[in-house]
Structure 1
Amino acid sequence: MSFDSWIGTPTLVLAVPGDSGSDADTGGVGAQMVDLLRSYRPEVTIRIGCVEGSDHRLADALADLEPVAGHPLRGVVVPLVTAPHPATSRAIAEAVESTGADVRVTDGLGPHPMLAEVLHLRLAESGFVRADRMRLISVVAPNTTMTDGVIVGAVGGDDAVNAAGVTAVLLAARLGVTVLPADLEDEASLEQVRGQLADAGCVRPVIAPSIVGPEFDVDRLAELGERYSARCSAPLGASSTLAKIAALRYAEILNSVGLDTPPTVDDLPSPVGSRHRPES
């Protein structure tokens, strides 16, 4: 059930991790996500707020969303991350406190079952797996191009790795190969998972970063690939699937506000139909 008709359409603010600079002007991942989100929520004002840097700051995106009498909620902040990310969470909390904005912050885009679908697509685009999905049959062909093991890379610590573990299980079910999560910022984690794949007979591993992109230095992926004798697929980037998850996070907040303080009978529209016609 949606409470949009009572709450209205609070502004949706995408909190982009890192210093994305002029992301909104250069067509970066944040700007692309805004365009994709509009297909799901065309009636909502959507903004970008970068958690670092001096351009397109999150605080600026929240500046005019102060509490207003009669409005149960002025805005919803959706972190553009696929797992718990402490640095982004702290920056959002500080921006909300400094501006006094009347907003609620959603969970990140993950864990979510649809993330495995996007990871599968990125692996297929790089030529590491087949694009189709076949139940009970491996979709990885036995040649030197296709991978026989995947490391789902997370950024954000143990909680992020746990979230990536959910995605890894779903991705393994799609591919029919061993898939394990690891922390891209922790060498010990990567060493351990790389060893587990080797023990399982994997000779063509691929690192699949389960990140949108701005939360990690993408140039480091090539370095990690060389160090651990693995190839790398691209970050998730902007996609229609991620935009759909963001739209769902927004709707979850609206519904939770409606459940906290539901409208009165007077606020609800009058019933219509033959059983509710006024007496003549």
Structure 2
Amino acid sequence: MLSDRVDSVITLSDVVGLVNKVTPLLLPPSGKAKSHRRQLYITNGSTHATVTLWGEQADLLDVDELIAASAQGPIIVLFVGMTVGEYSGLLALQSTSVTRCYVNAPLPEIADVREKTKDLPYHIEWHTGKTKNDAEPIPSSITEISTFEPNDIMGMRYKISFKITEIHEGDGCYYMSCTDCWKKLIPESGSYRCPDCTTTVPLPRYRFVVRAVDTNSTDKDDAKFADLYFFGPRGEAAVGQKALSLLASVNEQPTRLPDDLLAIVGKEFVTH
């Protein structure tokens, strides 16, 4: 499964999906990224994912032609040679120097996805994210959002009030990050290295997953639960201290979650 390969930089994967949204070329923030990129939103009928094409790979894909062609029928692409990550609960794939894209090719994998997605809308839309990200968050609830299609709410901001019911222990609570770009560092010969930067200095940052329910939920049997991801500053705000300080309290028991983190179970939060 692709989820088993999350954050592996040595294992490349192939993924195929119906393309339903694309972004314009996204320019890199100054000093933060290697190149421009383009993102595509895909689905195989049951799983949704984002695909990021970097540099030359982004240039080679003629999205204007894809959008025009999608008016006549579905655009299904096989992406070969991708790394697998995760962002906000979705699989996030990124291109490499060996990535290749095969559009509506006569391949069994593409035919299979075509069959599984035959009842889904197939016209590709532009997804700039600008209007959605700049707009005020929309008041909502976990119960309401659970009824939405994932593709319809990508990039949207919602304001929800929720109560944490548990923390997923198996997912841990932090990762060793690059001090410059925040990417996950790769252990190497007793030290660390960043896949993009030259830094070898590790800094723990929060990354934990909680199970949550609407604050005003009273019916335990019909309550809708959601897994919410807390990264970096959002984790600091919830716990009340930096990850480095929190980890100092469990140096002798690294396999358990810190008490100060477990203390947020049962508490109510408002986030957007």
TM-score band, normalised by the shorter chain? under 0.3
Larger helix proportion, structure 1 or 2? 1
Relative contact order (C-alpha < 8 Å, sep 6+): which is higher? 1
Larger strand proportion, structure 1 or 2? 2
Q: Give TM-score, length-normalised by structure 2.
A: 0.24
Answer with 1 or 2: which has the greater Rg.
1
Q: Give TM-score, length-normalised by structure 1.
A: 0.24
